Structure 1
Amino acid sequence: MPASPSPALPDDRLAAGAARLASQHSGRFCAETVQALLADSYRLLAEHARVHTHLVVLAERFTAERLEALAHVEGAPGAGLPRVLFVCSHNAGRSQMAAALLNHRAGGQVTISSAGAAPAAEVEVGIVQALTEAGVDLADAYPKPLTDEVVQAADIVITMGCGDACPVVPGRRYLDWPVPDPDGAPIAVVRDIRDALDAHITTLLGTLPDP
């Protein structure tokens, strides 16, 4: 029986990314699986993007994160770090800030993701400013949609007090950090939100298991 054709990519420029990802996951995921996930990632990001200039690059990065999460779900060896997922509606404020702060303080000992049920086009400017002032890098952050494999891979799922509907996976730990919405808030308020999230992260780091 002839092999099934690979699913069509929505942008021809994605082909090089599909080849890179397929090579990285050779022996774990077939090229057709990688290409299908890349096409889906591009479609999901394109639904909310105002500018498509960097969409091909972001789709490849998003797909890499999803493949790594899927490998973890399927029991790939060497994926033993605690995994934390931050969720808020638009993945442009609180969840991005919390993820960046944890990444800054965890020293590579935690795998961190963030996502939103209805992702915005870009991270809020005030969030970037408040984190930059604290010496935290957010240069590569971008809003991402919530996907099943990222939820299933998480050991801890943390929502931001905004009533987000998140799939419940048995055996996962769920937390809610009710902090104010920084959207449109003065920078002084955003700094207070940053500091409140940092206090939550201090508590969280004391509860995480050793890798």
Structure 2
Amino acid sequence: MSTNTDSAEPIRIAFMCVQNAGRSQMSTAFAERERDRRGLDDRVEILTGGTQPADHVHEEVIEVMDEAGFDLSDRTPREITIDELQSCDYVATMGCSTLDVGEVGSAVDVRDWALDDPDGADLERVREIRDEIEQRVIALFDEFSVAT
């Protein structure tokens, strides 16, 4: 693993799954918030995508994220490429990736968060997934954030 510590180069993080319509979208929203809270706008780049993107973010995800103060209604799932993933310091997959993460290379810290798919789940379960994602994102930022 090669974690980026050069202050001139931002840390790149990717959150990915198959559809980019649930877990990776929630992860991205929490990561954007953490980046802002920690004053890391110029130090952290956040990517998100899927291997087979859906047409829209799942309705139950939009609803539970709205409860937490995030508006994901205007977000659009997108495809993520191997090149994008290879440019990252960290890649978090959600437990459903069709990507062979070996293709990403050993220089990237790839983590499989193995989270349940919120698509079609009842709102209470989606909230549980949301809350677990929030804690994982905070922990990830704790790993590389240092007081400046």
Please say whether Structure 1 and Structure 2 have the same fold, judged by a TM-score greater than 0.5.
yes
Q: How many residue pairs were aligned?
A: 134
Q: Between Structure 1 and Structure 2, whose CA radius of gyration is higher?
A: 1
Q: Provide the residue aligned with 1:176 in structure 2.
A: 112
Q: Provide the residue aligned with 2:56 in structure 1.
A: 122
1:104·1:136 contact (CA, 8 Å) conserved in 2? no
The counterpart of 2:77, out of the listed 139, 143, 152, is 143
- Determine what percentage of the aligned residue pairs are the same residue: 35
Task: State the Cα RMSD in Å.
Answer: 1.9
Structure 1 residue 187 displacement after superposition: 1.3
Aligned partner letter, 2:57: V
Unaligned runs of 5+ in 1: 1-77
Tell me, in whole angstroms, the C-alpha distance in 2 between the residues paired with 1:152 and 1:161.
Answer: 19
The counterpart of 1:155, out of the listed 89, 100, 117, is 89
TM-score (norm 1): 0.59
Pairing of 1:5-154 with structure 2 (within 5 A) = 80-107=9-36, 108=41, 109-154=43-88
Tell me, in whole angstroms, the C-alpha distance in 2 between the residues paired with 1:87 and 1:100.
Answer: 13
Structure 1 residue 138 displacement after superposition: 2.1
**What is the DSSP-based 3-state SS (H/G/I as helix, E as strand, rest coil) of the residue aligned with 1:197?**
helix
Larger proportion of strand:
2
The counterpart of 1:193, out of the listed 116, 126, 129, is 129
Structure 1 residue 172 displacement after superposition: 0.9
TM-score (norm 2): 0.82
Tell me, in whole angstroms, the C-alpha distance in 2 between the residues paired with 1:161 and 1:180.
Answer: 7
